[in-house]
């Protein structure tokens, strides 16, 4: 009996070419695993394609709810945003996929896991750190780094290779954007985006929605409900988090929400330019942020921002299965115990406009905050506070004046 290898399989040209390549160079039986993390109809027809390509078996694993509940929602609670713009769509999905690859490797008694990530990107890091954390004994095969045996450097070369191995599948030689899609987002790289001087061709590029210019002239109000930092209802209708994101994607896409053009710093050291569509995620993150500003005290809110930035770095770098991520998440969870309430927003031509926030745990006190004098606040108290708060500034200015006088 041959040894088995688990292949992270998308059904695209790269991973289709990898199947005969693995059989030819390692003499493994290839077991393909396609993870469904909400990418839609991209998984249609995969079983037939995998078997035509020489795979022994194909697993199609529905991980959408696990992805949302165990990876997306913790990032929402943390307000984790990488480099102020990127909502971590691909970064969050890789650990849940790699975890399932390990689980199936154990089930099948496989000796290795193979992925099709290139040697220039972040995904190789994310996949392999997860595998090393969960199954350090398993061999990892990354064809794009196997210079001695992986000779294909273009789509044309890959198509020629699969045809030479009797795989007659309808792959196009046309260049297109390099995309990654899941329930949270879709990313676009390549073509005109490779030059930061070029404006994205949004008419050609966008998949989940329209540009703000092409959004409806009339805005739309929505209300999101949260319990302990997690979304539980949209417009008063209770539903699971994945369904909320799905519906928010439709609403956000319709109104041109969540389109980001970013040059980001990859883990491997280079800068990369991409366009991300995250319509539902952008709305959800904004609503959560608005609710927190009403509920969390000043010190917790300020410190949590630092934690959120670090959380984003950890997730982006593929360090999900680490003590640091667990510790950061434990802090975040402690801050979310009273993040409960409703957020009303207006969606209009790429904008999310605040339209009212309520919570039983709100720290906003109208009696204190009002410009009219209330019983809970004495204006004269501010004088002593300012004297103490500014004492170090006053002492420093006095010393500088003394030194200047003596000179």
Q: Which residues are catalytic?
A: 14, 94, 123, 178
Residue 373: how many other CB atoms lie within 10 Å: 10
Strands (E), 128-212: 139-141, 178-181, 186-189
Separation between Cα atoms, residue 178 and residue 205, nearest integer Å = 11
Backbone angles phi, psi at 195, to 5 degrees: -110, 110
| Contacts with 25 (C-beta within 8 Å, 6 or more apart), sequence order | 146, 149
- β-sheet bridge partners, residue 277: 186, 259
Residue 27: how many other CB atoms lie within 10 Å: 9
Quote the tokens at residue 61. 């694993």
Quote the tokens at residue 283. 């709305």
Pairing state of beta strands 230-234 and 237-238?
A: antiparallel
Separation between Cα atoms, residue 235 and residue 344, nearest integer Å = 9
Return the DSSP state at 317: T
| Contacts with 348 (C-beta within 8 Å, 6 or more apart), sequence order | 215, 219, 220, 255
């Amino acid at each position: 009996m041959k040894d088995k290898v688990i292949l992270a399989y998308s059904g695209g040209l790269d991973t289709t070419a990898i199947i005969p390549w693995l059989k030819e160079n390692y003499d493994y039986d290839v077991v393909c695993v396609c993870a469904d993390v909400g990418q839609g109809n991209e998984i249609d027809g995969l079983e037939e394609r995998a078997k035509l390509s020489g795979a022994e078996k194909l697993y199609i694993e529905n991980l959408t709810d696990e992805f949302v509940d165990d990876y997306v929602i913790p990032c929402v609670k943390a307000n984790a945003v990488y480099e102020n713009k990127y909502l971590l769509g691909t970064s969050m999905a890789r650990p849940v996929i790699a975890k399932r690859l390990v689980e199936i490797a154990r089930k099948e008694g496989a000796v290795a896991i193979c992925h099709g990530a290139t040697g220039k990107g972040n995904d190789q890091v994310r996949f392999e750190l997860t595998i090393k954390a969960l199954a350090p004994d398993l061999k990892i095969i990354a064809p794009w780094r196997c210079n001695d045996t992986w000779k294909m450097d273009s789509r044309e070369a890959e198509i020629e290779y699969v045809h030479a191995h009797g795989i007659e599948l309808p792959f196009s030689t046309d260049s297109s954007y390099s995309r990654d899609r899941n329930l949270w987002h879709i990313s676009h790289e390549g073509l005109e985006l490779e030059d930061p001087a070029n404006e994205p061709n949004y008419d050609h590029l966008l998949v989940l929605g329209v540009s703000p210019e092409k959004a409806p002239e009339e805005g739309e109000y929505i209300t999101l409900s949260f319990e302990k930092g997690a979304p539980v209802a949209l417009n008063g209708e209770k539903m699971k988090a994945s369904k909320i994101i799905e519906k928010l994607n439709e609403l956000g896409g319709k109104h041109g929400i969540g389109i980001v053009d970013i040059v980001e710093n990859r883990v491997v050291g280079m800068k990369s330019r991409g366009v991300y569509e995250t319509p539902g995620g952008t709305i959800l993150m904004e609503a959560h942020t608005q609710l927190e500003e009403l509920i969390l005290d000043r010190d917790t809110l300020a410190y949590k921002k630092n934690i959120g930035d670090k959380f984003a770095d950890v997730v982006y770098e593929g360090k999900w299965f680490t003590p640091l991520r667990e510790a950061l998440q434990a802090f975040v969870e402690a801050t979310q115990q009273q993040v409960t309430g409703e957020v009303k927003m207006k969606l209009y031509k790429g904008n999310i406009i605040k339209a009212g926030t309520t919570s039983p745990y709100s720290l906003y006190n109208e009696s204190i905050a009002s410009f009219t004098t209330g019983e809970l606040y004495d204006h004269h108290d501010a004088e002593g506070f300012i004297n103490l708060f500014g004492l170090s500034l006053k002492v420093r200015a006095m010393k500088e004046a003394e030194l200047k006088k003596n000179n």
